[in-house]
Structures are given as C-alpha cells and as structure tokens.
Amino acid sequence: MAGKILITGAGGQVASALVDAPIELERMALTQAEFDITDLAEIDDVFDREAPALVVNAAAYTQVDRAEHEAELAFAINRDGVADLAHACRARDIPLIHLSTDYIFDGTKQSAYVESDPVAPLGVYGESKAEGEAVLHRLWPKHVILRTSWVFSATGNNFVKTMLRLGRERDELGVVNDQHGCPTSARSIAETLLEISRRLLEGETIEWGTYHYCNGPPTTWYGCAREIFTRAGGFESLRLEPIATSDYPTPARRPHNSVLDCAKIERSFGIRPADWRYELEIVLSKLSLPD
C-alpha cells in the first residue's frame, strides 16, 4: 500500500494512538516543536521533504478554560494553522483529515447533534475550532472533518486520569451530572481515522465533508466518574456526589448536551461506535491503579 500519512500533534492523545495502532500503514508523526502548523514556510519544507500522500491533523489548542484568556493562541492553532495546512494540501492535491470537537455546539438541542446542525460555540475554544472547520470547508474540498467528544486515554491529561488522581487524594468528590455527552477513547478515534485513511490511500471514492464519531452510550461526567471508580476498584470508601454545573463554575461555559449522532459515519464507512465502558477497561489496564 503506497503512501505516507503525516500526523500532526504528536504526543497528544489521538496522535499517540494513531502511531500505536496495529495497522499496516506508513505513518510519520511530528510534534509541535518539529512541525509548527502556524508556519506556512515550515509546512512547505516538511511537505516537500516527506511527500505525504495524506495528512491527519491532530494538532490543536485544547485548553478549554485557558483559551478564554489565550484567544489569540487558540485561534492561531485551531483556525489559522488549519488554513495553512489546507493551502499546502490544496497545492499538492493531498487529502486532509482534521479532528474537531463537540464544543462547537451550544448544547441546547434536546437530542443528539447531527453534522448539519448549526454551530453555536459557547467559548473561545469552541469558536476557534468552529472557525477552523469553516476555513477548511472554504479552502480545500478534499477533506474529512471528524468531530468527537470527551477524549480519554492512558496518556496525556484527561478526565479518567484526573478522576483517579482526585479519588486517591480525597474522601469525597462532587462531579457534574447535568452535562450530557459521550466519553470517547483515543484508541477508537485513531482506528476510525486510520480506516478512513486506508480507504483514501487505496483510491476509494468517499463523500468528503464532516462526520461525527464518538463512543456510546451517552452519559454525564458523574456517570462516567462512577464507572471509572467502580471498574478501577479500590475506591469503596470514596463518596461520589452528583452536582450541578452551577456548583462548579469554570471560566468557559460547557454545553449541557453535546451528544453526537454517528449514523452518517456508519452509513458511509460502516464504522459503528465502540462502547466507552469497554474502552475504559483497556485504558484502566494500562494505568497504575491502587490495590
């Protein structure tokens, strides 16, 4: 199978999973220090040197709360960097797969969000990701945008690792129970991205555009935390309490509902959502857990 996949954002949760996935596709992952997507000259140099057949953009500014005070940096990476990649891919006729987020929605819909629902981000992070999507739509038709949600893995910073740390440090823990979404493993996102990549590299004709992929079933942060502590074991004395968003104020507002409908990706690629509870077991098995 000819063609190299260039992966941005090496070291992040999804990029790490993309590198580790056991699939026979040639891949090169570069960190931000090695490949700054906000530097068009550097993009040209890397593209000319590596000659990728496909690019997966997993680089992003993801600090949701900090973005409220670092808007310029968030937009530089999440919008302008995407524009730079789109220009470079268009100049070389290279497909671009871009990772996006459920936080482009405002959470007021009473059912799962489909790809055609209007975006209405509540904060700088979501706005920067929404504008990154828009600029990619405008600049380069040969793209796939994959929106996902509540990413977790055994690497990096994420909810699962935070809960395990806090559970060891405290006797009681309050977790938000009125934000609904779908925890999604970086491993399953990587498998989805690589399946789409494989089809593109094999010359399959696909429908370009936006797709949703997340694990199921929907839950809340509290529901996810409860599952983490139950499956990890050793937290029987921890008092876990459901709280409202209003009881845990943050600089950035979060959508109360960010459940993503994944029917389109199943129709187009036959990719079905994995169960996040199964994926959680895999992650927990990789982490150092209390006796």
- Measured in residues, the chain has a length of 291
- What's the pLDDT tens digit per position in 215-261? 999 999 999 999 999 999 999 999 999 999 999 999 999 999 999 99
Tokens of 195: 């399946």
The amino acid sitting at 230 is: T
Is there a catalytic annotation at residue 222? no
> Helix %, strand %, coil % for the chain, to 5?
40, 20, 40
Q: How would you classify the pairing of strands 219-220 and 180-181?
A: antiparallel
Q: Over the range 119-139, which residues count as b (16 or more CB within 10 Å of their CB) and which as e?
A: bebbbbbbbbbbbbbebbeeb
pLDDT of residue 291: 45
- What's the pLDDT tens digit per position in 110-134? 999 999 999 999 999 999 999 999 9
pLDDT of residue 23: 86
The structure's pTM equals: 0.94
Ranges of residues in the chain with a pLDDT under 70 are: 1-2, 288-291
Catalytic residue among 61, 103, 113, 125: 125
Integer Cα distance of 112 and 214 in angstroms: 11
Integer Cα distance of 83 and 261 in angstroms: 27
